[in-house]
């Protein structure tokens, strides 16, 4: 329900000529109806399956894509699943971005100013998205646009492998080769967009100025009217409540975050991309697996905090914060605990020091936390990335 509400709010914000328009939303007790703009031309993907596009045609679609994505970002919206299957064509042959089901709003960012939900389509996802250290939604979308541009010009994906781990290794190092028919300007643009380091990746502002991008298509410069009458988020709750659909149960706010395949793969010792972007931080983090329900894990953590005289704050999505009562060498020790649901009967818990002295945290973890939680722990995630089963 929350995902549907978010998609409605997002689509009300992004009224743009190159984005599929949401006209109306209606709901009953059992069904939700989206009344959307009818786009006759089908998916851009269908055009690509017939072979690569002419450079002028590829440029036109890429220009329209970048204009739509720039508009989304200006409204604080990050698509997070850009791919040819989600790009539609109208009867005039103009591009329309669709499917905002995985999109995020600016207020989805955590305190570090980054997004943390790992999602997207494997071949189009940016390397930092699966590093599990947080990422900028705008930078991730730009990477996906770069992959789309390559596909439009080449007729095939830049990163391909039947083995998912090998595919992500290629993505993490940006291992791709441009075919011989790519012009130098297009090669340079792609190399700057498909930079695995998001800090050095080309911004949309720079893309808009790039010589290959600004060339005129079909004898005329494209102009886009990006004015929208409604720039305030719609009250999605009101849509459902007014039609007899109950809002989400408040208890669900405490439900742990689901861990998907991207998250599980990223825990592998052989596939840790975090080193590409951030300094290793193993001393500040610890993971353990438990067969116990999230409520039991939370209760056990609260019991430990009470015994240690730590203050506790609960947040939505199975997140807890435990804070010491007195300052240490580097300030007050603060430990964040986040619970991830891999399966209904299996949870992973991340313990992370967000403030205070690292040695103090490690000592508390070794001498107090591990023994106190032994009754609920099935295994610890060891320093080498392998699950160390509890004796």
Residue predicted with more confidence, 353 or 226: 353
Domain range list for the chain: 2-236, 258-389
Domain 258-389, CATH homologous superfamily name and number: Kinase associated domain 1, KA1 (3.30.310.80)
Task: Please compute the mean of the pLDDT values over residues 365-390 and round it to a whole number.
Answer: 74
Task: Please compute the mean of the pLDDT values over residues 131-151 and round it to a whole number.
Answer: 94
Q: How far apart are CA 288 and CA 344, in angstroms?
A: 16
Task: Please compute the mean of the pLDDT values over residues 275-290 and round it to a whole number.
Answer: 65
Phi, psi angle pair for 34, to nearest 5°: -100, 120
Residue 95: pLDDT band by 50, 70, 90 thresholds?
very high
Query: Kind and range of the H or E element at 24?
Result: strand 22-27
- Reference 260, options 192, 348, 326, 329; nearest CA is 348
Q: Give 8-29 pLDDT, tens digit per residue.
A: 889 989 999 999 999 988 887 7
Residue 250 has pLDDT above 60, yes or no: no
Which pLDDT does position 303 carry in this prediction? 92
> Exposed/middle/buried for 323, CB within 10 Å: 0-12, 13-18, 19+?
middle
Task: Please compute the mean of the pLDDT values over residues 372-388 and round it to a whole number.
Answer: 70
Which pLDDT does position 314 carry in this prediction? 77
3-state secondary structure of 169: helix
Residue 91 has pLDDT above 90, yes or no: yes
Residue predicted with more confidence, 174 or 274: 174
Phi, psi angle pair for 5, to nearest 5°: -60, -40
Q: What is the CA radius of gyration of the chain?
A: 24
Residue predicted with more confidence, 137 or 31: 137
Q: How far separated are the first and last CA of the chain, in Å rounded?
A: 41
Which pLDDT does position 70 carry in this prediction? 97
Indicate the pTM of the whole model: 0.66
Which pLDDT does position 110 carry in this prediction? 82
Domain 2-236, CATH homologous superfamily name and number: Transferase(Phosphotransferase) domain 1 (1.10.510.10)
- The active-site residue, picked from 81, 263, 272, 336, is 81
Residue 329: pLDDT band by 50, 70, 90 thresholds?
confident
- Reference 139, options 75, 73, 188, 45; nearest CA is 73
Residue 261 and residue 129 in contact, taking contact as beta carbons nearer than 8 Å: no
Q: Give 163-219 pLDDT, tens digit per residue.
A: 988 999 999 999 999 999 999 999 999 999 999 999 999 999 999 999 999 987 554
C-alpha angle 277/167/268, rounded to 5°? 60
Q: Which of 31-45, 134-148, 206-220, 363-377 has the lowest mean pLDDT?
A: 206-220
Residue 388 has pLDDT above 70, yes or no: no
Which pLDDT does position 389 carry in this prediction? 47
- List Cβ neighbours of 176 (8 Å cut-off, separation of 6 or more): 150, 158, 159, 170, 194
Residue 253: pLDDT band by 50, 70, 90 thresholds?
very low
Residue predicted with more confidence, 288 or 328: 288
Residue 273 has pLDDT above 90, yes or no: no
Rounded to the nearest integer, the mean pLDDT of the chain is 83
Q: Which of 77-91, 133-147, 262-276 has the lowest mean pLDDT?
A: 262-276
112 belongs to the catalytic site: no
Residue 232 has pLDDT above 80, yes or no: no
Residue 229 has pLDDT above 50, yes or no: no
- Reference 62, options 228, 185, 167, 166; nearest CA is 185
Residue 343 has pLDDT above 80, yes or no: no
Phi, psi angle pair for 362, to nearest 5°: -65, -40
Q: How far is CA 328 from CA 323, 354, 363, in A?
A: 12, 14, 13
Phi, psi angle pair for 59, to nearest 5°: -65, -40
């Amino acid at each position: 329900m929350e995902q549907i509400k978010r998609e409605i709010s997002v689509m009300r914000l992004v009224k743009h000529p190159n984005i599929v328009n949401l006209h109306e939303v209606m709901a009953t007790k059992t069904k939700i109806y989206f009344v959307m703009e009818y786009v006759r031309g089908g998916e851009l993907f269908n055009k690509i399956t017939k072979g690569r596009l002419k450079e002028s045609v590829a440029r036109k679609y890429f220009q329209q894509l970048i204009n739509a994505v720039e508009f989304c970002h200006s409204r604080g919206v990050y698509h997070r699943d850009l791919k040819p299957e989600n790009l539609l064509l109208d009867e005039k042959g103009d591009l329309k971005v669709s499917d905002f089901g995985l999109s995020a709003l600016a207020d989805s960012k955590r305190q570090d100013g980054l997004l943390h939900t790992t999602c997207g389509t494997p071949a189009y996802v940016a390397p930092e998205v699966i590093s599990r250290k947080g990422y900028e939604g705008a930078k991730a979308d730009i990477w996906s646009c770069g992959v789309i541009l390559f596909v439009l010009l080449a007729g095939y994906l830049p990163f391909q492998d039947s083995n998912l781990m090998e595919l992500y290794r290629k993505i993490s190092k940006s291992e791709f080769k441009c075919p011989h028919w790519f012009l130098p300007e297009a090669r340079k643009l792609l190399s700057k967009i498909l930079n695995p380091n998001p800090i050095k990746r080309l911004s949309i502002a720079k893309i808009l100025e790039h010589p290959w991008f600004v060339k005129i298509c079909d004898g005329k410069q494209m102009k886009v009217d990006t004015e929208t009458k409604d720039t305030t988020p719609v009250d999605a709750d009101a849509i459902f409540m007014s039609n007899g659909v109950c809002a989400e149960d408040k208890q669900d706010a405490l439900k742990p975050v689901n861990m998907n395949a991207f998250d599980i793969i990223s825990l592998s010792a052989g596939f840790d991309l975090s080193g590409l972007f951030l300094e290793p931080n193993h001393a500040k983090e610890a993971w353990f697996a438990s067969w116990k329900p999230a409520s039991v894990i939370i209760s056990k953590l609260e019991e430990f905090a009470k015994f240690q005289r730590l203050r506790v704050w609960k947040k939505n999505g199975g997140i807890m914060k435990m804070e010491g009562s007195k300052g240490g060498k580097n300030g007050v020790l603060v430990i964040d605990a986040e619970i991830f649901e891999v399966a209904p009967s299996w949870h992973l818990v991340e313990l992370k020091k967000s403030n205070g002295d690292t040695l103090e945290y490690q000592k508390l973890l070794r001498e107090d936390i591990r023994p106190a939680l032994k009754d609920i722990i099935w295994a610890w995630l060891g320093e080498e990335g392998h699950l160390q089963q509890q004796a």
